[in-house]
Amino acid sequence: MGKNKATVTFHHDSKGFEFIKDANLSEEYFAHSSGLKDSIGENDEVTFDLEEGKKGLNAVNVKLASLTTITIISNFIPLKAGFFLYQF
């Protein structure tokens, strides 16, 4: 199945499971910690796939929907398009 978007509605770190609510269908799915790709918490926006489990559909490959990437380029000198010189 394709990537779905959801919000984490319940997170139980010590027991290793979460519930997430699908943004489009308003369905809630169980997610075991083994199906997590990122560290998540309640109210986080996530993407996920669905997989048939013992008691119905489970969320797997659960990832944060958006990660802020910080790039440090203080030691790089731009030369021309796409090329940089690293200054030691």
In residues, how long is the chain?
Answer: 88
**Predicted pLDDT of residue 3:** 83
CA 44-48-54 angle, 5° bins:
115
**Predicted pLDDT of residue 71:** 52
What span, in angstroms and rounded, lies between the C-alpha atoms of 48 and 70? Answer: 24
**Predicted pLDDT of residue 72:** 53
Average pLDDT over residues 24-29: 91
CA 85 to chain centre: 33
Average pLDDT over residues 9-33: 92
pLDDT value at 62 more than 90: yes
Domains of the chain with CATH codes: 1-88 (2.40.50.140)
pTM for the model stands at: 0.69
